[in-house]
Amino acid sequence: MFEHLHAGLLAAVSMSNLIALFFGTFVGIVVGILPGLGPMVGMVVLLPFSFAFSPDVALSLLLGVFCGGYFGGAVPAVLLRTPGVPSSLVTSFDGYPLTQKGEAQTALSAALLGSFGGGVISVVILIFLAPALAHVAASFGPPEYFAVAVFGVVLVVMAFREQFARGIMLLGLGFWFSTVGIDGTTLSERFCFGTLSMQNGLDIVPICLGLFGIGQTLILVERDIMKTNDIKLSRSTLDFSAIVKVLKYWKTLIRSGVIGTFVGLLPGTGSILASFLSYDVAKRLSKEKERFGKGTPEGCLASEAGNNAVPAGAMIPLLTLGIPGDALSAVLLGVFTINGIYPGPLLLVKEPVLISTIYISMLLINVVAFLMLIIWLRPFAMIVKVPGKLLAVVIMVISMIGIYAVNTRLFDAGVAIAMGVLGYILLRMGWPVVTLIMGVVLGEIMENRLRETLSLGDGSLGILFQRPICIFLIVLTSLIILIPFVLDIRKNIRNKKLNQF
Amino acid sequence: MPKKDYYSSRAHDLLGSIFGVFALSMLITSPWQVDTSGPDPFYKGPLIFPLIVFCLMLAGSLPSLWRLFRPSEKSSWYLDGQGKPFKTMVILGLLIIYLAGIIFIGLEVSTWLFLLIALKLVNQDSILKLTLIPVLVTLILFVIFKYFLDIWFPEPLIMEIFLE
C-alpha cells in the first residue's frame, strides 16, 4: 500500500498534475463563491477540456473544482449571508452574526479551517476504508452489483421523497438516454430514429453540460444575483492569529469531519445533510450551546467540516462499487468510463497508482484551497461583485465550444442545447435533476448487470433471492422505500384524528 | 410562495403528463425502434431494459395524469411568480443561431456577435463591457481551441462564396 502511495505522491506532484490541481481549485473557489453557479457548473464547463489530459490529471482538475467549490461557498455565506453553495447556508447561521459583530476574520478562519480539516479527515478515512469495502465487493457477481445499483438509485430517489414520482420519471428518462445508440452487447440499433448521428448514442458530456451548464445559466439570465459593495473585511489576507484561536475546537473539527464523510458515503444524502447534521451534533455537545445561532466560530467550523468531508466520502462508493452518490461524483464516474477505467473493487487492484494519485491529489487540493483563500481572501471575496448575467453569457459560449471540441461534432452541441432547455425547465420547476443524471450514468451499468443476472438465472430474477448479500440488499432497499411511507401514513392518520377532536 | 403550494402547481402535473404520454408512446413503438433481429432470447436482448424504463416512467407519471384531469378546487397554474421567460427564450434562440453561425460565418465572428448581442440583451450596457468582453472572450477561445488544442472548426461557408 505504501509503495503505491509513494508512486501516487510522485504522480500527484508532477508539473502537469499540479497545474491542473491549482487551476481546478481556483475555478472551484470562484464558482463556489458566486451564488447561483456552484461546483457543478464549474465541473461541467471544464469537462470537455479534461479529455485533452491523462485520466489522473483530468481527475485532479475536476476534483479541484469539486472540493474548491465547497471551500469557496463559505465566503459569501459568512460575509453576506448568501451561501455560494447550498450546504454553506448552515455556515451563515453563525458566520454572518460574527461578521456583523466585526469578527469576520474569526468566522472565516473557523469556516476555512473547518473546510480544510473536514477535507483532510475524509481523505484519510477514504484511504483506509476504500480497500476494506473493495475487499468485500471483490466477491460480488452481477446479481450483487445489480442489487447494489438498485440500492444506490433508490437512496437517491428517496432523498427527494416529497417528489418521489417526479424522481422516478426523471430516473427513467435518464435510463432511456443511456440506451440510445448501438447496444454494446448485441450491436442492435436502438432509438436512432433513422439518423446516423444518434447511432453513437447520447454522450454524457453534452447531457451534463446542457442540464447544468446551459440550464443553470439560462436561469441566471432571468434572475438577478445579489450584488453588494458591502464587504466587511479588516484586511486582505486571513489573520493567522484568528486561525490559531479556533484551533481550540479541534474535537468538533474531527467529529464533524467523520460525520460528513459517512453522510457523503451514502448515495443521495448530499452535503446539505452533512453540514446540518454536523452543526446539530456540535450544538448538542458544545459547552456554549446558547451561542449557536448568535455567532460562534464553533458552528462555522462544524458546518464547513461536515460539508467539505462529503467529496471524499462520496468517492468511497464511487471507487469501490462504481456507484456515484450525487451528481458531482456521477460526472467523475463519466470521466473514468470515458477513459476506459471502470470503477469497482478491481479498480483498486488494477490501478493502484491512479487511486493513490487521486488520494494525494485530494489532500493537496485541500491544502491549496486553504492557502489560496488565506492569501487572496479579499480578491476572492470581491468576485461576488461580478454581474451574474455577464458570467452566464460567457459560460454559455465556453460550454458550446467546449462541447463541440470533445468530438468535433455540432450534433453534440445541439444535444447540449436540447438538454439545456430541459435543464432550465426542470431547474426552474425544482424537479430533482440529480436523479436524471444518475439515470444517465448508471443506465448502462444497470442494464448490463440486469441482463447478466437474467442470463445467470435463465431468464428469472429468482437468483437474487438465492444469494445472502442480495437478500440483505433487497430487504434494506425495501425498508428504505417502505418505512418513510408507513411513517407518513401514520402521521396523516394521527393528524386526521387530532383534527376530528 | 410556500413550498407546498409551489409543488402543487398544475404546471408540474402538465410536465409530468407530458413525460407520461412520451413514455406510453415509446412503450408502444419501441419494438419497431429497437432492432430485435438478433439470436438472443428476450431477457438477454436489447429491448427488455427500455421496456422496464418506459413502464417506470409511465408509473411515475400516473399521479400527474390523474391530477391534470381531476384537478382539486384549490389547484392553479401559478408557478413561481418569476414571469414568462421571454429573455431566456431570446437568448436560447440566439444560441441556436450561434451554432448555425459557426458554419456560415465562422467561429470568431459568430462568437463575437453572439456575445455582443447577448450582453446587450441582459442589460450589460456599458461601452467598456460591450467592446472589451466579446473581443477578449473570442480571442481567448481562439487561442485555446484553435491554437493550443488544434480543434478543427468548419470552414465558414461565406468564405467559400467569396472565394468562388
When pLDDT is cut at 50, 70 and 90, the band that residue A52 belongs to is confident
Q: Does A102 touch chain B (CB under 8 A)?
A: no
Between positions 280 and 319 of A, the ones with CB within 8 A of B are none
**B63 to chain A: which residues are within 8 Å by CB?**
165
Q: Give the start-to-end residue ranges of the domains of chain A.
A: 2-466
* DSSP, res A211: I
For B144, nearest residue in chain A (alpha carbons):
A49
Give the C-alpha separation, A225 to A82, whole Å: 10
In this structure, are residues A267 and A156 in contact, taking their beta carbons and an 8 Å threshold? yes
CB atoms within 10 A of CB B121: 15
Q: What is the mean pLDDT of chain A?
A: 86
CB A11 within 8 A of CB A353: yes
pLDDT band at A369 (very low <50, low <70, confident <90, very high): very high
Is the CB of A454 less than 8 angstroms away from the CB of B103? no
Count A/B contacts: CB-CB distance under 8 Å: 180
Mutate which of B47, B84, B88 to test chain A, going by most A C-beta atoms within 10 A? B88
Model confidence over A96-150: pLDDT tens digits? 888 888 888 888 899 999 999 999 999 999 988 888 888 887 788 889 888 988 8
Range 40-99 of A in CB contact (< 8 A) with B: 52
Specify the pLDDT at position A15: 93
Asked if A304 and A116 touch (Cβ cutoff 8 Å), the reply is: no
| Range of weakest confidence among A69-78, A119-128, A254-263, A378-387 | A378-387
Average pLDDT of the residues in A264-271: 74
What phi-psi label fits residue A224: left (phi over 0), alpha (psi between -120 and 50 degrees) or beta?
beta
Selected residue with higher pLDDT from A339 and A312: A312
Contact B99 A414 (CB under 8 A): yes
Q: Using CA coordinates, name the residue in chain B closest to A177.
A: B50
Mean pLDDT of A369-384: 85
Q: What is the pLDDT of residues A326-349, one digit of tens each?
A: 778 888 888 888 777 888 878 888
**Pick among A164, A169, A404, A411 to test the B interface (most B CBs inside 10 A):** A169
- CA distances to A30, A141, A155, A466, B56 from A152, rounded to whole Å, are 31, 17, 5, 21, 17
Residue from B37, B53, B152 to probe the interface with A (highest A Cβ count within 10 Å): B53
A7: cell is 508512486
Q: Which residues of B touch A405 (CB under 8 A)?
A: 145, 149, 151
Q: Which of A211, A281, A209, A220 is nearest to A252 (CA)?
A: A281
Residue A102, classified by CB atoms within 10 Å of its CB into exposed (0-12), middle (13-18) or buried (19+), is exposed
Q: Give A428→chain B minimum CA distance, Å.
A: 9
CA angle centred on B7, ends B5 and B13, rounded to 5°: 120
Chain B partners within 8 Å of A451 (Cβ) = 43-44, 48-49
Summarised one tens digit per residue, pLDDT across range A400-411 is 888 888 788 889
Q: How many Å lie between the alpha carbon of A194 and the closest alpha carbon of chain B?
A: 9
Backbone φ and ψ of B147, nearest 5°: -85, -55
pLDDT on residue B1: 47
How far apart CA A393 and CA B114 sit, in angstroms, is 9
CA distance B43 to B32: 17
Q: Is A199 in the B-facing interface, judged by CB distances under 8 Å? A: no
Please give the Cα distance from A155 to A149 (Å, whole number).
10
**How confident is the model over A302-330, as a mean pLDDT?**
86
**Each residue's pLDDT tens digit, A221-243:** 887 655 555 666 667 777 778 88
Residue whose C-alpha cell reads 435518464 in the numeric block: A174
Please indicate whether, in this complex, the C-beta atoms of B111 and A397 are within 8 angstroms of each other.
yes
Tell me the C-alpha distance between A71 and A369, whole Å.
Answer: 7
The partner residue sitting opposite A400, judged by closest CB among B11, B99, B103, is: B99
Q: What residues 345-404 of chain A have any CB closer than 8 A to a CB of chain B?
A: 387, 389-390, 392-394, 396-398, 400-401, 404
SS3 of chain B: CCHHHHHCCHHHHHHHHHHHHHHHHHHHHHHHHECCCCCCCHHHCCCHHHHHHHHHHHHHHHHHHHHHHCCCCCCCCCCCCCCCCHHHHHHHHHHHHHHHHHHHCCHHHHHHHHHHHHHHHCCCCCHHHHHHHHHHHHHHHHHHHHHHCCCCCCCCHHHHHHHC
Q: What is the pLDDT along chain B (164 residues), one digit of tens a residue?
A: 445 556 678 889 999 999 999 999 999 999 999 988 888 888 888 999 999 999 999 999 999 999 998 888 777 777 777 778 888 899 999 999 999 999 999 999 999 999 999 999 988 888 888 889 999 999 998 988 888 878 888 888 887 777 76
* List of chain B residues whose C-beta atoms are within 8 Å of the C-beta of residue A191: 26, 30, 33-34, 50
Chain A residues 419-458 with a CB less than 8 Å from chain B: 420-421, 424-425, 428-431, 446-447, 450-451, 454-455
Q: Which residue of B has its CA nearest to A178?
A: B50
H or E element that contains A203: none
Q: Is the pLDDT of residue A18 over 90?
A: yes
Question: Which residue in chain B has the smallest CA separation from A402?
Answer: B145
